Chain A
Amino acid sequence: MSSTLQQLVNQPYRHGFVTDIETEVVPKGLSEEVIRLISKKKEEPEWLLEFRLSAYRHWLTLEAPDWAAVSHPPIDFQEIIYFAQPKPKKQLASLDEVDPELLRTFEKLGVPLHEQKIMAGVAVDVIFDSVSVTTTYKAKLAEIGIIFCSLSEAVKEHPELVRQYLGSVVPPSDNFYAALNSAVFTEGSFCFIPKGVKCPMDLSTYFRINTEGSGQFERTLIVAEEGASVSYLEGCTAPQFDTNQLHAAVVELVALDNAEIKYSTVQNWYAGDESGVGGIYNFVTKRGLCRGVNSKISWTQVETGSAITWKYPSCVLLGDGSVGEFYSVALTNHMQQADTGTKMVHVGRNTRSTIVSKGISAGRSSNSYRGLVKIGPKAMGARNYSQCDSMLIGDQCSANTYPTVEVQNENGVVEHEASTSRIGEDQMFLFASRGIGQEEAVSMIINGFCRDVFMHLPLEFAVEATKLLGLKLEGSVG
């Protein structure tokens, strides 16, 4: 039975193809010159070039962090291509002008770009390597004042907004990879929901790394003004190469008074092969700032891909009565390593946060939850509830939990629960002896385990996540 389960878990990666498309790349390596070149290619204003250069200079003074429970050879930042874009680069007037090869790529990935085919009411921004290919439903959203476009476009068309908020949640000096991203970010999505507007559809960005040896440094900025709300989805895939690729993104969310942002991710970057060759290094900084009173930011993530995942979507609860949530499923198999979790920083009064983390480890993988709950001196009446559960599949994987709690006032309430369980032969045999096949059994056990997280995903994403976990885990019990 265990060997069949192994086969089940070890299904090949389905997004591992490379699109044969002519690409324009900036020569590999990083220097002020490369940054100037990127900035010039993107026709950026002077202030943004300065933003990049000061971030780069700061980055030069930093060391790569080594505190996470992951190990990898040192990254040679001069071996990375920092900018790659499909040729020819010209202003696209409509989808008809997009390279048909690109369109086929996204159809293969299940992201149809033609608006009439797009799944019920989801606006999609698609990023291929360093460039945004298309943003759908843009005009429709503009009618109610919502700006949803690529970050480069926003820099051109709404520079005052970008300048006001860019780096306001994750400053370029925040950490090593955030500084790197601030210096070289090439694309990303920008989303602005004006005062009082409830975004009528889910907004979505789909990221794809195609060029071998290229890094992806996208930057997403979402601002919800007073009373606004939005639900945002992010999906990611990459082709299968035997070299590691770096993905160092920054996501910033800003919620003003009574605003609400829900950010959901299904991350399925290429994870490397069974022996750990290749795969994406996913070193991402995601943070939301609940700036206004009673604002709310909710992160839901399903992390199944990448050779190494290093990310901690966090909330800074500044406004009184603001709410932060983090719901996470992280699945690792083979040689994958994940060190992921969240930070909930309670600054304002009566702020509340909830953390639900589910780690699933199979194969020889390592899966760690790392979290910080900080209740500041003025955060009277703050509350946090954390729940961290780990599930082990097989006996060669590991799961760790590193929760940190800092409470600096006397009436904060912090609760933490944790559990570890194992899918065993006996559980599988129970399902088999009732007539249920192994795939369905694994799927049911895992979905049962992840239920508290999946219920927070938008419906289509929940279905996708359920299938993805099933695929990733088929065969790993024993």
Chain B
Amino acid sequence: MKLLQVKGLKASVDGVQILKGVDLEIGYGEVHAIMGLNGSGKSTLSKVLAGHPAYTVTGGEVLFEGKNLFELAPEERARAGLFLAFQYPVEVPGVSNSAFLRLAYNTQQASKGGEELDPLEFDDLVRERIKVVEMDPAFLDRSVNEGFSGGEKKRNEILQMAILSPKLAILDETDSGLDIDALRIVANGVNSLRSEHNAIVMVTHYQRLLNYIVPDFVHVMHAGRIVKTGGKELALELEERGYDWVRAAA
């Protein structure tokens, strides 16, 4: 069984059709990159999969481990193992990062019948996992994303991924706004979380990230569809030749 099967997915926002029939299959242990110009529908695809309320699904189907994803509320998708790392992580004043992480962790554990952790036990876990993104543990006591730099927010997203161990992690332009050191740290973090039991989808404009997290498949989106799929060399070709030739071929 495939981890994720997207068939003819159509979706709109504010009455404007953005996704016009997306087909995509993702298997366990795979790393996919979805590339394309602004407005091609990459970020919309991420948000539709995660269940953002602003988007309306108008056609097609998505199976997550064989189950109809659209029958699940956003929080149920998360509990089923879907994770979205946000392009623009929001701030939540007054809510400590550690309390937020623990609530998320315990909620997901509870839904799986797993063991919930008290604050002390959770602290051990989070201090272990935070090494993955080389973050200062002081960030755990601060309010979620409040006053974090762009790079710190992105690292915080990957920390959440490290805590929640999703089956499918969608990284929506996680590389944007990162300097080269932060990019390396984030990429190392993601790589350390890769396994044969999960899969990663990177949504990105640039080849740069793919030097650090090497994809098995590269897809090119254009005008709401995936118009070309290839191996990691496709990303290099795009870097060299731009998107025009793909669009022309589509």
Contact = CB atoms under 8 A, between A and B. Distances in A.
Nearest to A424: B90
A200 interface: no
Contacts of B15: none
B95 interface: yes
A356 B104 CA distance: 29
A451 B94 contact: yes
A interface, over-half SS: helix
Contacts of A429: 50, 52-53, 74
Nearest to A450: B94
Contacts of B84: 433
Contacts of A409: none
Contact of B93 (A433, A435, A449): A449
A144 interface: no
B92 interface: yes
A433 B83 contact: yes
Contact of A437 (B52, B83, B107, B143): B107
B92 A445 contact: yes
Residue of A424, A429, A433, A435 with most partner-chain B CB within 10 A? A435
Which range holds the interface residue count of chain B? 20 to 34
Contact of A432 (B51, B92, B111): B51
Interface string A424-442: 1111011111111110100
A433 B78 contact: yes
A444 interface: yes
A425 B86 CA distance: 14
Interface string A68-97: 000000000000000000000000000000
Contacts of A62: none
Contact of B78 (A425, A434, A440, A445): A434
B152 to A, nearest CB: 16
B216 interface: no
A1 B55 CA distance: 11
Interface string A29-47: 0000000000000000000
Nearest to A430: B90
Nearest to B74: A432
A444 B52 contact: no
B107 A436 contact: yes
A1 B86 contact: no
Nearest to B52: A429
Contact of B75 (A424, A427, A436, A448): A436
Contact of B50 (A2, A426, A433): A433
Interface string B23-61: 000000000000000000000000000111110000000
B5 interface: no
Interface string B57-91: 00000000000000001110111000110100110
Which range holds the interface residue count of chain A? 20 to 34
Given A427-B92, A444-B99, A448-B143, A435 B53 contact: no
Given A444-B100, A445-B92, A451-B94, A432 B108 contact: no
Nearest to B83: A433
A449 B52 contact: no
Contact of A426 (B90, B94, B143): B90
Nearest to B164: A434
B201 to A, nearest CB: 14
A7 interface: no
Contact of A448 (B50, B89, B93, B104): B93
B188 to A, nearest CB: 23
Contacts of B94: 445, 447-451
Contacts of A448: 92-96, 143
Residue of A2, A424, A437 with most partner-chain B CB within 10 A? A437
A413 to B, nearest CB: 26
Contacts of B54: 425
A433 B51 contact: yes
B103 to A, nearest CB: 6
A295 B131 CA distance: 49
A421 interface: yes
Contacts of B174: none
Contacts of A430: 86, 89-90, 92, 144
Given A425-B53, A429-B74, A430-B86, A436 B103 contact: yes
A2 B52 CA distance: 12
B78 A432 contact: yes
A462 to B, nearest CB: 15
Contacts of B79: 435
B95 A444 contact: yes
Nearest to A1: B53
A296 to B, nearest CB: 26
A326 to B, nearest CB: 19
B51 to A, nearest CB: 7
A136 B52 CA distance: 53
Nearest to A449: B94
B80 to A, nearest CB: 9
A445 B100 CA distance: 10
Residue of A421, A433, A445, A451 with most partner-chain B CB within 10 A? A433
B160 interface: yes
A440 B51 contact: no
Nearest to A426: B90
Contacts of B160: 434
B76 to A, nearest CB: 8
Nearest to A478: B53
Nearest to B47: A429
Interface in A281-331: none
A433 B74 contact: yes
Contacts of A449: 93-94
The list of the 5 closest CB pairs from A to B, nearest first, reads: A448-B94, A448-B95, A435-B78, A432-B74, A434-B104
Given A426-B90, A435-B104, 10 more contacts: A2-B53, A432-B73, A433-B84, A434-B104, A434-B160, A434-B164, A435-B75, A435-B164, A436-B104, A445-B95
28 contacts: A2-B53, A425-B54, A426-B90, A427-B92, A429-B50, A429-B53, A431-B75, A432-B75, A433-B50, A433-B77, A433-B84, A434-B78, A434-B100, A434-B108, A435-B75, A435-B104, A435-B107, A436-B78, A436-B103, A436-B104, A438-B75, A440-B107, A444-B103, A445-B94, A447-B94, A448-B92, A448-B95, A450-B94
